């Protein structure tokens, strides 16, 4: 059993006893591998207080000094990618190479945050009125909280804290209780990079910790990523309490395959984007809207590829796909195979019989699965499954595919596969989704663009990272200033009129 994972408060591991703890599992074996402390009111208060006390000093730390620390953090995360990836794989289940990929994508946000001096430049207008100048400055908010999901225990927190901290805020991270270790490793790397104590804190916990942060008067803003029902809850509670909030929710990502598409590329993409990380990605492809005339051929090509997929423990180099995160989640995902068939779909590929490398039977396994002839009323289409299940919806053509996607309540990601530039251009224009791929199945924006969906995939106005991240973690102040020439008093005297420019 690995050690107990606790909080990181004021630059050190928390030493006090825990009133509540949860088990942490190794999804590949199904066995408990450790425990995690669950914060109560005292720990919540200590974490926020530590961030609040660190704020004035950090806010006033020069941009050059902040950037030096960010660069050191960047190099340390890079050097420790292997350790982080192993810790993620052991608790999440994803294969180690995929976990290293998420660390890499998180690092891209650190790269972006290293350019913060440029991003925090305000505007300046000379002589807006005679002898008067106007300018704007971007200032940090104070203590900000990040509440993150299990599926990217390093990357999603790194969408948030590098930008928040670079902008001069202090941060309290509440990671998922299912895979808490990566957050502590990141905290240690921040300390090694020279970040002052209290600027980055980690509060392990569940709903109690989340609610404590939402209610805390010293938390100025909340960034959330997770499922839609919780995102909606976070958005309304945080806003009610006067906090700035962005809450990214769940997804049902469609891939459209038009008859002129490269079907091998489409099949490769469906398998990679549907089954990578066992489908536990918010940008995973879940539904394939394929035009009837090429549907049989596409399903046949997907099947060929799925038969060759190696499912096994995340730390086995041969594995391409690992287990699901918990037994309950695996059972729920598998239940869609039965309900799909009951509601009229065809189970073309049954992942329950896919072989598992090493023969471990107690892990939370479910192989890649495909339901064909799915229709929009079925539960397997309506719900976010968040597992290795592709649903094929056969459509008559482009218009029906677009209507299907635009009628869906989620709007996170989508992709169109076609060789017709005009169709692709029309698709990018009229599709009601926040992130669009053209012959690219997982269109996760680079760090210097912003990540976020539409409709019930995002509550709030700001997407994550990129310039929207900088806007979220700062507020602007507009200054109007008059400095008179030495020895020269401005003309005028008292004037009760509303100031106008002259
Ligand atoms: P989740 O909503 O269950 O949990 C997310 C966070 O909220 C965790 O830290 C958890 O401890 C906390 N939480 C859970 N229940 C709560 C409650 N009742 N009250 C307050 N806090 C609560 O999500 P998950 O299962 O960890 O992650 C998977 C979900 O996240 C999927 O729906 C996926 O689509 C979504 N996701 C979305 C994005 C995106 O960018 N839109 C990215 C990654 C994951």
Q: At residue 1, does pLDDT exceed 60? A: no
Q: At residue 36, does pLDDT exceed 70? A: yes
Mean pLDDT along residues 442-456: 97
Give nearest CA residue, ligand 1 atom 43. 282
CATH number at residue 404: 3.40.309.10
Mean pLDDT along residues 95-121: 98
Give nearest CA residue, ligand 1 atom 42. 282
Residues pairing with 145 in the sheet: 172, 222
Check if the beta carbon of residue 467 is closer than 8 Å to that of residue 119. Answer: yes
Q: Residue 488 domain-assigned?
A: no
Distance CA 257, CA 56 (A): 53
**Pair 105, 232 in one domain:** yes
**Pair 218, 82 in one domain:** yes
CA of 204 to the centre of ligand 1 (A): 14
Ligand 1 atom at shortest distance from the alpha carbon of 458: 41
**Pair 160, 278 in one domain:** no
Query: What would you report as the CA-atom Rg of the chain, rounded to the nearest whole angstrom?
Result: 25
Q: Residue 502 domain-assigned?
A: no
Q: Residue 281 domain-assigned?
A: yes
**Pair 193, 266 in one domain:** no
**Pair 336, 463 in one domain:** no
- Between the alpha carbon of residue 424 and those of residues 261, 298, 299, 408, 418, the distances in Å are 11, 19, 22, 20, 7
pLDDT in tens, 40-79: 999 999 999 999 999 999 999 999 999 999 999 999 999 9
Give nearest CA residue, ligand 1 atom 36. 226
Percentage of the residues of the chain whose pLDDT score is greater than 70: 99
**Pair 72, 208 in one domain:** yes
pLDDT in tens, 119-137: 999 999 999 998 899 999 9
Distance CA 404, CA 419 (A): 21
Q: Residue 475 domain-assigned?
A: yes
What is the residue-averaged pLDDT of the chain? Answer: 97
Contacts of 449 (CB under 8 A, 6+ apart): 466
Contacts of 424 (CB under 8 A, 6+ apart): 416, 418, 438, 439
Q: Residue 450 domain-assigned?
A: no
Spell out the SS3 assignment of 467-480. HHHHHHCEEEEEEE
**Pair 419, 466 in one domain:** no
pLDDT in tens, 124-172: 999 999 889 999 999 999 999 999 999 999 999 999 999 999 999 999 9
- What is the number of structural domains in the chain? 2
Which strand (E) or helix (H) includes residue 162? helix 155-166
Query: Which own/partner contact pairs does 23-26 have at CB distance under 8 Å and 24+ positions apart?
Result: 24/91, 24/177, 24/178, 24/179, 24/180, 24/181, 25/91, 25/178, 25/326, 25/364, 26/90, 26/91, 26/93, 26/363
CATH number at residue 20: 3.40.605.10
In this prediction the pTM is 0.97
CA of 339 to the centre of ligand 1 (A): 24
CA of 247 to the centre of ligand 1 (A): 10
Q: Residue 500 domain-assigned?
A: no
Q: Which of 167, 153, 159, 72 is nearest to 117 (CA)?
A: 167
Which strand (E) or helix (H) includes residue 417? strand 413-417
Check if the beta carbon of residue 376 is closer than 8 Å to that of residue 407. Answer: yes
Q: Residue 410 domain-assigned?
A: yes
Q: At residue 411, does pLDDT exceed 70? A: yes
**Pair 303, 357 in one domain:** yes
Residue range(s) defining the domain that contains residue 417: 253-438
Check if the beta carbon of residue 289 is closer than 8 Å to that of residue 255. Answer: yes
Among 149, 182, 279, say which to mutate for ligand 1: greatest number of ligand atoms within 8 Å of CB: 149
Check if the beta carbon of residue 94 is closer than 8 Å to that of residue 76. Answer: no
The token pair that represents 79 in the structure block? 């050097």
Give nearest CA residue, ligand 1 atom 30. 226
Q: Residue 494 domain-assigned?
A: no
**Pair 291, 381 in one domain:** yes
**Pair 96, 224 in one domain:** yes
Residue linked to tokens 């008093």: 489
Using DSSP's 3-state secondary structure scheme, residue 34 falls into strand
CA of 386 to the centre of ligand 1 (A): 11
**Pair 142, 174 in one domain:** yes
Furthest-apart CA atoms within the chain: distance in Å: 89
Among 206, 227, 450, 452, say which to mutate for ligand 1: greatest number of ligand atoms within 8 Å of CB: 227
H helices present in 177-262, as ranges? 181-193, 207-215, 228-240
Q: CA-CA-CA-CA torsion for 99, 104, 105, 106, nearest 10 degrees?
A: 90
**376 phi/psi in degrees, rounded to 5:** -65, -20
pLDDT tier at 421, thresholds 50, 70, 90 = very high
Ligand 1 atom at shortest distance from the alpha carbon of 206: 11
**Pair 284, 326 in one domain:** yes
CA of 230 to the centre of ligand 1 (A): 7
Just list the catalytic residues.
Answer: 282
């Amino acid at each position: 059993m690995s050690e107990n994972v606790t909080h990181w408060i004021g630059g050190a591991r928390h030493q006090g006893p825990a009133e509540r703890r949860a088990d942490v599992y190794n999804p590949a074996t199904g066995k408990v591998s450790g425990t995690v402390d669950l914060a109560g009111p005292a720990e919540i208060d200590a974490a926020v207080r530590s961030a609040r006390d660190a704020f004035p000093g950090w806010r006033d730390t020069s941009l050059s000094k902040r950037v030096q620390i960010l660069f050191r953090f960047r190099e340390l995360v890079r050097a420790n990618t292997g350790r982080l990836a192993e810790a993620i794989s052991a608790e999440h289940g994803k294969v180690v190479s995929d976990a290293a990929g998420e660390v890499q994508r998180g690092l891209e946000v650190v790269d972006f945050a290293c350019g913060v001096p440029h991003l925090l430049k305000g505007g300046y207008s000379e002589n807006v009125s005679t002898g008067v100048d106007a300018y704007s400055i971007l200032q940090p908010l104070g203590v900000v909280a990040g509440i993150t999901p299990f599926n990217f225990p390093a990357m999603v927190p790194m969408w948030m804290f590098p930008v928040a901290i670079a902008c001069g805020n202090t941060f309290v991270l509440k990671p998922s209780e299912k895979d808490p270790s990566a957050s502590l490793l990141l905290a240690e790397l921040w300390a090694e990079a020279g970040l002052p104590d209290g600027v980055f804190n980690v509060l392990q916990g569940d709903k109690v910790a989340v609610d404590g942060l939402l209610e805390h008067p010293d938390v100025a803003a909340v960034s959330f990523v997770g499922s839609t029902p919780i995102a909606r809850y976070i958005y309304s509670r945080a806003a009610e309490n006067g906090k700035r909030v962005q809450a990214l929710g769940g997804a049902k990502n469609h891939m459209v395959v038009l008859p002129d598409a490269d079907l091998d590329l489409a099949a490769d993409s469906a398998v990679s984007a549907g089954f990578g990380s066992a489908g536990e990605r918010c940008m995973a492809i879940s539904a394939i809207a394929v035009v009837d005339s090429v549907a049989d051929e596409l399903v046949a090509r997907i099947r060929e590829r799925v038969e060759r997929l190696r499912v096994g423990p995340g730390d086995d180099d041969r594995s391409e796909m690992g287990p699901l995160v918990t037994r309950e989640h695996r059972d729920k995902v598998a239940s869609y195979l039965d309900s799909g068939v009951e509601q009229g779909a065809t189970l073309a590929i049954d992942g329950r019989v896919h072989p598992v490398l090493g023969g471990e039977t107690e892990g939370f396994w479910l192989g890649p699965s495909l339901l064909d002839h799915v229709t929009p009323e079925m539960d397997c289409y309506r719900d976010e499954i968040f597992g290795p299940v592709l649903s094929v919806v056969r459509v008559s053509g482009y218009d029906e595919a677009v209507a299907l996607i635009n009628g869906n309540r989620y709007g996170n990601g989508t992709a169109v596969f076609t060789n017709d530039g005009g169709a692709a251009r029309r698709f990018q224009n009229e599709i009601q989704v926040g992130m669009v791929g053209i012959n690219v199945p997982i269109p996760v924006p680079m760090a210097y663009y912003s990540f976020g969906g539409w409709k019930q995939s995002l509550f709030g106005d700001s997407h994550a990272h990129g310039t929207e991240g900088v806007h979220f973690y700062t507020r602007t102040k507009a200054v109007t200033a008059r400095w008179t020439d030495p020895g020269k008093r401005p003309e005028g005297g008292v004037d009760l009129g509303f100031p106008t420019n002259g």
